[in-house]
Amino acid sequence: MPSPQTHTYGPKCRLAPVPQPLSAGSYDGIPPVAAQFFYSSVIPIDDPLSPGTIAGVSDARTARGQIRPFSLGDSNALEKAWLSLLSDDDIQAHEQLVRDRKLSSAAEKANAAKLALLAKFVSDESYKREAIDVVVGVSRLHMVSIPALQMKPIYWSPVNDIAVVLRATWFYRDTMLPIPPAVANQLEAGYRELKPHTETWNDELRCAIEVGPLGEEKVSHRLWPEDVETLSDRDKQVVLDIRISTDPFCAASCFRGEAAAEGAVDPNLKAGAASQQHRSYASYHVVYKDASTAFLLKPSLKPSAYYGRRPVAKIMKGMTIGIPVTRGFDRRAWERIHNKKATRDAANQPPSVNGPPEALGRDVCAACQAQKERGQVTDLVLVVHGIGQKFAERVESFHFTHAINAFRREVNLELTSPAVKGVLREDQNGIMVLPINWRHTLSFEDGGPMTEEDKATHVPDGFSLKDIEPGSIPAVRSMISDVMFDIPFYLSHHKGKMINALVTEANRVYRLWCRNNPGFAERGRTHVIGHSLGSAMAIEILSRQPTRVPRLDLSLRVPQPDFFEFDTCNLFLVGSPAGFFLLLERGMLQPRRGRVKPGADPVDINAPEVTGEACRYGCIAVDNIYNVLAKEDPIAYLLNGTIDPVYATSLMTAHVPSSASSIFQYVGNAVKSLVPGTTPTPATMAPPAAPKPPFARLPSQLELEVHDFTREEIAERKAYLLNDNGQIDYYLRFGGGPLEIQYLNMLSAHTCYWTSQDFIRMLCMEVGRKPGRANTIPAMRAQKAAKRVALG
């Protein structure tokens, strides 16, 4: 009996070979082809730690990127979806076209039938529903649309990251890279015509070698049909296409897995058209050696009785002539050629035919189940952007999604560090960071934000922004309107639409995540990061959030527009003006009454002097709130004082623990270790010891200040319900050094959070640690400021 980590390769195993459809008619006896799906993208979906996840994605010219194979499990899932689109009616119609193909009139008939098929796809709704979306990638963030052969992100709108997907059947032997679909289909058509897998073909090759160059000419097959040259360009394309089509829709429905096809990024460009317009290896011949190997020969290498060339004899002796190609994908060869880890070979290869029958016959694959459980992320972080995303519609590099893609990679890297692993709870299994792009659904035109539904019913009877905007300095005015006008619109009567846009988008993303990750709604934890204006909007929403969120109902097609459909465990505010908005609304930060928080005192949870009711601005339904701000960030405000000003002044200024010591500290520690009587500076992650104030004898007649211990106690109870550490504000160490210029740092301080290693480590630790006050990290805990008495 195999171990739990051994793949069974049975019917329920993701790595098992995909069953091929039954052949019929002229296809009898032809072995099925081992197809492999590839994608062309700068984002390696199976390596989230690769720098390629952030390099070049903001440049549309490099969006195509390197061609990469899907993992064995994903490729199998795509192949099953591809083969499920087979239609017997379409197959029979296509075979009839092939049998009736003669001259130009036949091509006209084929063309008319094909146009009718495409018209059916466009007009028939039931036909459209055959399209299948397959979730792919180790992080399950992308999906491939079959048969369109396009890969798109699931949770955000594509930003130059639509990838072309290729279904390959023939490959270059020396690199295992896929041969272009049009060439591969010509190879496959010749393969099916000559049947090199049979013993009859082996006999023909032996006879051809015995006869000599003239005999070898007979077994050399022209790659592209010779009769095509006499047809018009339009008829030429039709005749070539009806042999084995490269069009993804026709290839999926009219063939039994033998057709190679490629999608297209541009929806207006017919998929596969680019490969049809350019005929690679136009004058080449092909020699099929056996059931899996062939050689492409240019005219100067093909058999010739006139020149006495005998390449077939050399090929049969094991020599390489021309371009060697192979039918079917060899994953072991790919891994060996491209220097992958050898351990991945064994994990991704199906067993041999001599494998244990009990392994092949098991219905449930324990290894697949274990991989699925390991892939279940336990913490989802939704990141809400602030102002300026309207500007991203014109300047691609400014798009929020690019920053979060890079931020996600840094979080994944940080989770692998020993310092972070040491504080993660036992059941913690990864953090997924997703952007919430709420701004793209709104428009500034016609007097304020408008949804798409508003645009459809709006009658322009007034003026819009462009009617009142002067024509001077247009670039500056356009940037100001795209970046800064979010704030006045939020302060106007349009606030409700902006809030609803954020709630709807967050719930849409959360619903998609729960659908693709069954069980997360019951077992997972959700956190929110709010940046800039997004943090103030998050405070607004969480003040109205129900104390207990109703159970998620995925059967409802429309997300809830009034509140988050998930419970927010931790709220991180970065570069936040939320303190200023609390001042405007005359609100205070308060914990929510009746919210059960791990490790909290049950008396405090329901105490009216400590907690508040829902719908009171600042009374938020979260377990912990953190306010992270760079010292030079001009947008950020403090929040400790919104709990209680006196309590805030009693605390020491807190900093986000540093993830790395500076070069000056390293040098200082090295010097101190050499000097007798000195000790190096302690690690930055350890909390600094509070200096003991000097003892002073007070005069007997000194009148002491009356201290309100009751107020301080209540404020402290509030602070610990709002954050396990007893405080909210944490300064980010940004800039610094002898050459620091605050006014220069100010320009980048508001956007520094996504690249700050200190903030990334803090996020990983606070999200991943075991909840409760008893499990906090010492460096994050509130420290009371020392009180000194000045003697005069």
Q: At what angle do helices 233-243 and 104-123 cross, to 10 degrees?
A: 70
Report how far apart, in Å, the C-alpha atoms of 320 and of each of 184, 207, 213, 217, 289 are.
20, 21, 18, 18, 11
Considering the chain, what percentage of its residues have pLDDT values greater than 70? 66
pLDDT for 666 equals 37
Cα distance between residue 730 and residue 716, in whole Å = 17
Mean pLDDT of 330-355: 62
Q: Where are the beta strands (DSSP E) in 162-292?
A: 163-168, 170-172, 221-222, 261-262, 285-288
Which single residue is written with the structure tokens 């995909």? 18
Q: What is the dihedral of CA 441, 445, 448, 451, to 10 degrees?
A: -30
Q: Which of the four pLDDT bands, split at 50, 70 and 90, describes residue 343?
A: very low
Q: Which amino acid, one-letter code, is at 750?
A: H
Cα torsion angle, 473, 479, 483, 488, sign: positive
In this structure, are strands 66-69 and 36-41 parallel, antiparallel, or unpaired? antiparallel
pLDDT for 238 equals 47
All residues at 6 or more sequence positions from 363 whose CB lies less than 8 Å from its CB, including other chains = 10, 11, 12
Cα torsion angle, 704, 710, 711, 717, sign: positive
pLDDT for 463 equals 63
Mean pLDDT of 482-507: 85
Mean pLDDT of 330-352: 65
Q: Which of the four pLDDT bands, split at 50, 70 and 90, describes residue 429?
A: very high
pLDDT for 269 equals 54
> Does residue 286 surpass a pLDDT of 50?
yes
Of 114-128, 365-379, 618-632, the least confident: 114-128
SS (H, E, C) 147-182: CCCEEEECCCCCCCCCEEEEEECEEECCCCCECCHH
Which single residue is written with the structure tokens 């690249």? 755
Q: Which of the four pLDDT bands, split at 50, 70 and 90, describes residue 775?
A: very high
Cβ contact 303:310 at 8 Å: yes
Which three-class secondary structure state does DSSP give residue 531?
strand
* Nearest C-alpha neighbor of 444 from the set 384, 391, 402: 391
In degrees and rounded to multiples of 5, residue 673 shows phi and psi of -70, -20
> Does residue 360 surpass a pLDDT of 60?
no
Mean pLDDT of 630-638: 90
> Does residue 717 surpass a pLDDT of 90?
yes
Cβ contact 149:166 at 8 Å: yes
pLDDT for 465 equals 62
All residues at 6 or more sequence positions from 153 whose CB lies less than 8 Å from its CB, including other chains = 141, 142, 161
Which single residue is written with the structure tokens 């049947």? 195
All residues at 6 or more sequence positions from 666 whose CB lies less than 8 Å from its CB, including other chains = none
* Nearest C-alpha neighbor of 329 from the set 311, 301, 349, 314: 349
All residues at 6 or more sequence positions from 146 whose CB lies less than 8 Å from its CB, including other chains = 78, 81, 82, 85, 131, 132, 133, 134, 252
> Does residue 126 surpass a pLDDT of 70?
no
pLDDT for 680 equals 45
DSSP string, 736-760: -STT--HHHHHHHHTTGGGG-HHHH
pLDDT for 249 equals 82
All residues at 6 or more sequence positions from 280 whose CB lies less than 8 Å from its CB, including other chains = 180, 182, 183
Cα distance between residue 371 and residue 361, in whole Å = 20
pLDDT for 645 equals 94
> Does residue 618 surpass a pLDDT of 80?
yes
DSSP string, 457-470: H----S--HHHHS-
Which three-class secondary structure state does DSSP give residue 307?
coil
pLDDT for 254 equals 79
End-to-end CA distance of the chain: 86
Of 427-441, 468-482, 511-525, 729-743, the least confident: 468-482
> Does residue 754 surpass a pLDDT of 80?
yes
Which three-class secondary structure state does DSSP give residue 37?
strand
* Nearest C-alpha neighbor of 155 from the set 140, 169, 144, 168: 140
Which three-class secondary structure state does DSSP give residue 309?
strand
In degrees and rounded to multiples of 5, residue 349 shows phi and psi of -105, 135
- DSSP H/E element including 133: strand 132-136
Cα distance between residue 160 and residue 61, in whole Å = 9
> Does residue 285 surpass a pLDDT of 50?
yes
Higher-pLDDT residue of 352, 339: 339
Residue 495 carries which DSSP code?
A: H
Higher-pLDDT residue of 658, 663: 658
Cα distance between residue 787 and residue 342, in whole Å = 63
All residues at 6 or more sequence positions from 424 whose CB lies less than 8 Å from its CB, including other chains = 415, 768, 769
pLDDT for 128 equals 47
pTM of the entire predicted model: 0.81
* Nearest C-alpha neighbor of 729 from the set 647, 652, 628: 628
Phi-psi label, residue 212: left if phi above 0, alpha if psi -120 to 50, beta otherwise? left
Highest mean pLDDT among 4-13, 46-55, 80-89, 315-324: 315-324
Mean pLDDT of 155-173: 89
All residues at 6 or more sequence positions from 15 whose CB lies less than 8 Å from its CB, including other chains = 7, 9, 72, 73, 76, 348, 349, 350, 368
Q: Which amino acid, one-letter code, is at 305?
A: A
Cα distance between residue 134 and residue 80, in whole Å = 10
> Does residue 271 surpass a pLDDT of 50?
no
Cα distance between residue 719 and residue 648, in whole Å = 10
Q: Which of the four pLDDT bands, split at 50, 70 and 90, describes residue 671?
A: very low
pLDDT for 276 equals 47
Instruction: Give the model confidence (pLDDT) of 546-582 as tens digits.
Output: 999 999 988 888 888 899 999 999 999 999 999 999 9
Cβ contact 37:79 at 8 Å: yes
> Does residue 715 surpass a pLDDT of 60?
yes
pLDDT for 363 equals 60
pLDDT for 9 equals 61
Cβ contact 313:289 at 8 Å: no
Which three-class secondary structure state does DSSP give residue 659?
coil
Higher-pLDDT residue of 548, 254: 548
What the block records as the tokens of 28 is 């009898």
> Does residue 525 surpass a pLDDT of 80?
yes
pLDDT for 603 equals 92
Q: Examine residue 147 and say whether the peptide bond preceding it is cis (omega within 30 degrees of 0).
A: yes
Of 75-79, 500-504, 737-741, the least confident: 737-741
Which three-class secondary structure state does DSSP give residue 103?
coil
Higher-pLDDT residue of 103, 531: 531
What the block records as the tokens of 523 is 């077992």
> Does residue 123 surpass a pLDDT of 50?
no
Q: Which of the four pLDDT bands, split at 50, 70 and 90, describes residue 173?
A: very high
Cα distance between residue 589 and residue 641, in whole Å = 9
The number of beta carbons lying within 10 Å of the beta carbon of residue 708 is 10
Higher-pLDDT residue of 647, 14: 647
In degrees and rounded to multiples of 5, residue 320 shows phi and psi of -100, 120
pLDDT for 102 equals 45
Instruction: Give the model confidence (pLDDT) of 366-403 as tens digits.
Output: 666 666 666 689 999 999 998 876 655 555 556 788 88
Mean pLDDT of 663-678: 43
Buried b (16+ CB within 10 A) or exposed e, 240-276: bbbbbbbbbbbbbbbbbbbbbbbbbbeeeeebbebbb
- The pLDDT mean for the chain works out to 79
Q: Domain residue spans in the chain?
A: 25-368, 378-664+708-780
Cα distance between residue 630 and residue 752, in whole Å = 8
The number of beta carbons lying within 10 Å of the beta carbon of residue 693 is 10
pLDDT for 250 equals 82
Q: Which of the four pLDDT bands, split at 50, 70 and 90, describes residue 625?
A: very high
Of 375-379, 413-417, 479-483, 742-746, the least confident: 479-483
Buried b (16+ CB within 10 A) or exposed e, 99-120: eebeeeebbebbbebbeebeee
Cα distance between residue 629 and residue 756, in whole Å = 11
Buried b (16+ CB within 10 A) or exposed e, 207-225: ebbeeebebbbebbbebbe
Q: Which of the four pLDDT bands, split at 50, 70 and 90, describes residue 472?
A: low
